Structure 1
């Protein structure tokens, strides 16, 4: 006699939220492949998800009384709005709080020293507590959105309404949301380039005559660094490249131009930017001259254009930032100046050309944006009034001139 066995369907075990976050960050890194831009994005999103985990621990453990490990079902359609509210209020971290307290104590000590027992002296108000910058909040939200969209696409969040979560975030931010924070670019930005132009590259041979090989080695490295930094700020000023695009440049792209006598006036270089979008930028003859001097002094077979400290590696993004910040400090340029300021500078020059303004679609192509909306929002929030007035005067007609006979 046959025995039949009844099979009961077992409920699949619910996924844990943090293991899903880890799977997502691993997915980003594997998808990035060898693209430096994609790898940078993957790493920045991975760092952002650390903050998302911190939010879950604090918001759900303390306020909603949910214990770890957290199941994915705790994510409701208010999660993005709750995350935004939390980011807007929470101090970034203890290190920044400590730095702010130290700055306040230092300012108070200075005031006390400058105004001893002065009854008329009113001390300045205390410094506001540190908060995440608007751009940082937007980046963290973008990472959280991408994670949620990925989890929904993988069917890990069956009951989660991503569209509703986005609408609730948008509606919640409508009352107190901020527009894109447009930082004013220092009009003397070019002073950074001039600073490096005027910086004397050490004469390694003269400085180390009669000294050890090690001394000659270090003197030569200092000379190469000065020539490299000079070439970097010139290329940034010419092209408005993103830092990741600059660090990904290779010698192949300009080698033929460097062998030409004389050097060409401009050389077209193809770069790969965000979203693996390719575009062409033009490096001027002046920049080529500085690149040529740097490569001749470097004397190595590496195909990397701007080399870093480690053999066979390109210069790091952090080092490019340091080069620009050091130049800005030496030249007396705004403290908020970084490599991206050159991008804003180039866009403003293109938009504000009174004689022959560049159409926004062309600026979009030059900067490598996916949409002209990005170009308009970030780089051209205010149209030049002088250019608008000139266009209006040109288009105006007298009433009698418009009558068609």
Structure 2
């Protein structure tokens, strides 16, 4: 492979993503996926972009389907499609910028992904057990209780919680400001009165015990007064799920799923749930409609003619 040729093109492609204001995390992930595709081309003896044909992309898709992951299992459909997407987006970039005459990936279809329901959704009672698990008589326990209250009340993502600053919290009117959430999108999310009460007490009476750097405006701090690293909240949730003796696989996103599911079962509009979760597409939110099986069974019992008959 002409490494200089493909390297310069990949650099140009990644630069175009920066111009589009994609996040560094997204660009790094695209870079990783693109490297896999270019390595595949090298293995096929492709030395120039003009040699990339539609059949090349289809064969790459087949290779993704047939290969195994690090656990010796077939790659998921979602993984296959993400990797294929990186290749297709790259070839479209090449076509749009006149490096090639036609886009070889344009007519290659993605595999159909099965719609999966979120797993391990908590019942209100289970969520309450986890939220009540921290010892609020301690500084760290009160901080952790506040975090759990916020996660369940607002349905924000773990990374969004990590980035919260004091300026993003309005516990008087009950709002959080999410700056550059997923997709670098800002949004305002409501938080309930209980979460607001804990936030107010934490900010006024507890957070000061954790401050080391007075210029660190992040809302939640470690015992050393530092900003949370990536996995702190994940470990925290796991810790209290274990303490609450729950057998479900609970992680920060579980609170997001549980909040959305509970609100939907209590007749919240799907569009409202979409705004709360910050989903760009309603398709991402629609999966929660399948979780309201309790309501569906109730309607079935009341309305199906066979259910009205005596045994």
TM-score strictly above 0.5: yes
Query: Which residue in the other structure is 1:154 paired with?
Result: 97
How many residues in Structure 1 have an aligned counterpart in Structure 2? 296
CA deviations on 1:86-109 (whole Å, 9 max, x unpaired) are 22321224xx4xxxxxxxxxxxxx
Tell me if the contact between 2:40 and 2:60 (Cα under 8 Å) persists in the aligned partners.
Answer: yes
Structure 1 Cα separation of the partners of residues 233 and 101 of structure 2: 44
**1:295 is the counterpart of 2:196:** no
Matched position secondary structure for 1:180: coil
Equivalent residue runs for 1:85-164 within 5 Å: 85-93=62-70, 96=71, 129-164=72-107
Higher Rg: 1
Q: Is the 8 A contact 1:352 1:387 kept in 2?
A: no
CA distance in 2: counterparts of 1:379 and 1:191, whole angstroms: 19
Which sections of structure 2, spanning at least 5 residues, go unmatched? 304-311
Please give the per-residue CA displacement for 1:257-290, whole angstroms capped at 9, x wherever unaligned: 3xxxxxx4x6122324333333321122322343
Deviation at 1:251, TM superposition (A): 0.7
CA distance in 2, matches of 1:384, 1:31: 41
Aligned-pair CA distance for 1:15: 7.5
**Equivalent of 1:233, from 145, 148, 153?**
148
What is the RMSD of the two structures over their aligned residues, measured on CA atoms?
A: 3.6
Tell me the equivalent position of 2:257. Answer: 344
Secondary structure of 1:198 counterpart: coil
Change in Cα spacing, 1:192 to 1:375, as seen in structure 2 (3 Å) is closer
How has the CA–CA distance of structure 1 residues 81 and 317 changed in structure 2, closer, same or farther, with 3 Å as cutoff? farther
CA offsets 1:235-267 (integer angstroms, 9 cap, x no match): 11111112232222221122x53xxxxxx4x61
Match of 2:34 in 1: 49
Summarize the alignment of residues 363-382 of structure 1 with structure 2, pairs less than 5 Å apart: 363-376=273-286, 378-381=287-290
| 1:49-86 per-position Cα deviation (integer Å, ceiling 9, x unaligned) | 343344334xxx2xx4x16xx32223222444433322
Match of 2:115 in 1: 180
**Do 2:78 and 2:113's aligned partners in 1 also have CA atoms closer than 8 Å?**
no
Report Cα offsets for 1:9-40 as digits up to 9, x if no partner.
xxxx998334422433344356547xxxx233
User: Measured at CA, do residues 196 and 390 of structure 1 come closer, stay the same or move farther in structure 2, by a change above 3 Å?
Assistant: closer
Contact 2:52/2:104 (<8 A) preserved: no
In the alignment, is the contact (CA less than 8 A) between 2:66 and 2:74 conserved in 1?
A: yes
Contact 1:197 1:230 in 2 (8 A): yes
Which ranges in structure 1 are unaligned for 5 or more consecutive residues? Answer: 1-12, 97-128, 204-222, 258-263, 395-405
Q: Does residue 224 of structure 2 align to residue 315 of structure 1?
A: no
Query: Which whole-Å CA distance do the structure 2 matches of 1:387 and 1:40 have between them?
Result: 40
Query: What corresponds to 2:192 in structure 1?
Result: 284
Contact 1:186 1:333 in 2 (8 A): no
| Alignment match, 2:219 | 305
Query: Does the CA-based 8 Å contact 1:15-1:71 persist in structure 2?
Result: no
How far apart are 1:393 and its partner, in Å? 6.9
In 2: Cα distance, 1:27 partner to 1:188 partner: 45
After superposition, the Cα gap between the structure-2 partners of 1:371 and 1:156, relative to the gap in structure 1 and judged at 3 Å, is same
- 1: distance between equivalents of 2:56 and 2:242? 42
Measured in 2, the distance between the counterparts of 1:86 and 1:329 equals 40
- The 1:164–1:281 alpha-carbon spacing in structure 2 relative to 1, beyond 3 Å, is same
